Amino acid sequence: MKVAIYCRLSEEDRNKQFETDDSGSIQNQKAMLLGYAMEQGWEIYNIYSDDDYAGADRRRPEFNRLLADAEARRFDIVLCKTQSRFTRALELVEKYIHGLFPLWGIRFVSIVDNADTANKGNKKSRQINGLVNEWYLEDMSDNIRSVLTNRRLNGFHIGAFALYGYKKDPDKKGHLIIDEEAAAVVREVFTLFSKGYGKTAIARILNDRGIPNPTEYKRLHGLRYKQPKSKNSTLWKYFAISDMLVNEIYIGNMVQGKYGSVSYKTKQCRPRPKSDWYIVEGTHEPIIDRELWDSVQKSLKERAKPFNVGTVCLFARKVRCMGCGYVMRSSKNRGRHYLQCANRHVAKDACIGSFISVDKLEHLVVDELNRLSREYLDKDELEKNIEFCSNLREQRERLQTDILAYRKTIDEYSKGVRELYMDKVKGLITEGDYCEMSKDFIQNRERLEHLVVQNEKEITQIAEKMRIGDNRRDLVEQYTDVKHLTREMVEILIDYIVVGKRVKGTKNPPVEIHWNF
């Protein structure tokens, strides 16, 4: 019988020497579960360990790796210290312990609370444990929410990051103090807007002077910040200026609760109506005086233009700039719609200035689609175009060979752990020596297990590419002799489009179409 050991700890262990080390409590769980498994004569398949994760967190990496391996029937038993180590959510208890595990032929065992799916008599006790854990989660969530709400109502800052222009007061928790270097930029933004400069123009002024945007400023000063996902993250953008000009924190009011969690069972957040925000006046020193603030708000109101939310551009979120990679924005001039890269307005050298009309892009896409349909609907030509599958097969075979080698080494590491344990049982080595010596075996094994999972994911992706390649004819046949595109067709057929800057002497800019087939 192969057993998978799962350990979890929800609190950070202060005795960690390095962040990558397992905590002492995790090591104790491993030692207890390893000993129990050896006493039962079970073979250790793998140890899955999530440190500093809550029992309600469904995004635990090792937890999800365990479930994937369980579905693949790679072991026979899941062993935990308690049922709550596996999960505190009653829904997951029913889904996996009482639902999918039996279908997959997997037994669940937890030592301390005597949960064992091989014993049908204690199913009710497992369900009661799950219900108690569910109540614990809900009560804990309510208590935390109550504490945070109370702090918000009293004007304490509880966010992970201080707003640009401020920093957290090291002497008073929940209080903001002015960061003068950044505050000077905030004052300049408000002043420029009050003098008639537009938001894009202000962003360009800041970028031309080499002033880092809020994220880059925090990174350079060693402050906490959210990692940006896009290129050119050092540049100021229109929306950064726009958000700054309406944020009441800059006039000394604490504004929090703009987003709220959907449920204590998930970490997803949704925007909340302004009526539900927590706004407390005069909690910290203002950067912007009331007179300048009122002037800016008046100008914003006067400049506001109605926006037709029912209109969606044909290529919305599908077209990227060849120069900087940003999604191109739509605009309208004299009744015609255009796509252009917003970066060409915010900095001199930020972008090559990609630009194309929507009509021209639609014409290019339609011509290319019709060409492809004629090509792929020719049987001989279609067979030539799916020869790429042979290369994919070679990649798949290489990955499968690597997996076999990895698994062979994993078995050797598992054997090493078992032999060390037997040495400990015989008194040849101490408990401390066992934990220390087996640590390298376990870490190397887990590293190889991770490589196996990655290779298997790549094999799945390759199989999907081969399947799509073989079905391209079916997809293209649905769109023959197209005259015009619809938004639905764009979503189905096109992954993304890259547009460059028009070369002098030519009529059309370079365009790369990346299809979904």
Rounded mean pLDDT for each run of 10 residues along the chain, 517 residues in total? 89 47 71 90 92 79 93 94 84 85 92 83 65 64 71 83 90 91 94 86 87 88 64 75 92 86 60 85 93 91 55 75 79 83 67 83 89 66 51 77 85 82 79 77 80 83 66 59 81 86 81 83
Residue 250 backbone phi and psi in degrees, to 5: -70, -10
Residue 86 backbone phi and psi in degrees, to 5: -70, -50
Residue 49 forms beta bridges with which residues? 7
Q: Which amino acid is at 268?
A: Q
Task: Determine the Cα–Cα distance for residues 116 and 106; give it in Å rounded to an integer.
Answer: 11
pLDDT of residue 251: 93
Q: Which of 188, 212, 220, 215 is nearest to 201 (CA)?
A: 188
pLDDT of residue 19: 47
Buried b (16+ CB within 10 A) or exposed e, 87-108: bbbbebbeebbeeebeeeebbb
Asked if residues 44 and 76 have their Cβ atoms less than 8 Å apart, the reply is no
- 334-337 CB contacts, 8 Å cutoff, 24+ apart: 337/313
With 0-12 / 13-18 / 19 or more C-beta atoms within 10 angstroms meaning exposed / middle / buried, residue 510 is middle
Q: Which of the listed CATH numbers 3.40.50.11260, 3.40.50.1860, 3.60.21.10, 3.90.1750.20 matches domain 154-303?
A: 3.90.1750.20
Of all helices (H) and strands (E), which one includes residue 216?
Answer: helix 214-220
What does the domain layout of the chain look like in residue ranges? 2-148, 154-303, 319-377+480-515, 382-477
Residue 278 backbone phi and psi in degrees, to 5: -100, 110
| CB atoms inside a 10 Å sphere around CB 327 | 16
End-to-end CA distance of the chain: give it in Å, rounded.
Answer: 44
Domain 2-148 belongs in CATH node 3.40.50.1390: yes
Task: Determine the Cα–Cα distance for residues 323 and 499; give it in Å rounded to an integer.
Answer: 9
Task: Using alpha carbons only, give the angle 123, 126, 130 rounded to the nearest 5 degrees.
Answer: 140
Task: Determine the Cα–Cα distance for residues 34 and 19; give it in Å rounded to an integer.
Answer: 24
2-148 matches 154-303 in fold? no
Of all helices (H) and strands (E), which one includes residue 515?
Answer: strand 511-515
Task: Determine the Cα–Cα distance for residues 275 and 285; give it in Å rounded to an integer.
Answer: 24
| CB atoms inside a 10 Å sphere around CB 304 | 8
Task: Determine the Cα–Cα distance for residues 508 and 506; give it in Å rounded to an integer.
Answer: 6
Task: Determine the Cα–Cα distance for residues 421 and 432; give it in Å rounded to an integer.
Answer: 12
Task: Determine the Cα–Cα distance for residues 237 and 200; give it in Å rounded to an integer.
Answer: 7
Query: What three-state secondary structure class fits 158?
Result: coil
